[in-house]
Amino acid sequence: MTSVVITNVLNGTIDSVKSVIPLSIEVGKPALIVQPVEHESIGVLIGMTGDIRGRLIIEGAEETIGKI
């Protein structure tokens, strides 16, 4: 899998989230995380299947997620 494919998936995901969530969104630098995942706030785990398999975690402050 090339970095171009990964970049396209990430950019498509960011565009989708921005079109659905009516709040200002700060996009951080993507990172490869090895399990277990430790986080301090609320997150959403999205599983991906097909040509690209993996998991995408969208994380945010409890106060922000509560507004959605």
Q: Give Dmax (Cα) for the chain.
A: 36
Domain housing 18: 3-67
Q: What pLDDT, in 10s, does the model give residues 20-67?
A: 887 788 888 888 877 787 777 888 888 888 877 777 777 878 887 777
Q: Is 0.75 topped by the overall pTM?
A: no
* Number of domains making up the chain: 1
Q: What pLDDT, in 10s, does the model give residues 11-26?
A: 988 898 888 887 788 8
- The residue written with tokens 């989230």 in the block is 17
Task: Please name the residue ranges forming H helices in 1-68.
Answer: 3-20, 62-67
Handedness of CA 58, 62, 63, 68 (dihedral sign): positive
pLDDT of residue 1: 60
Closest among 50, 42, 56 to 10, alpha carbons compared: 56
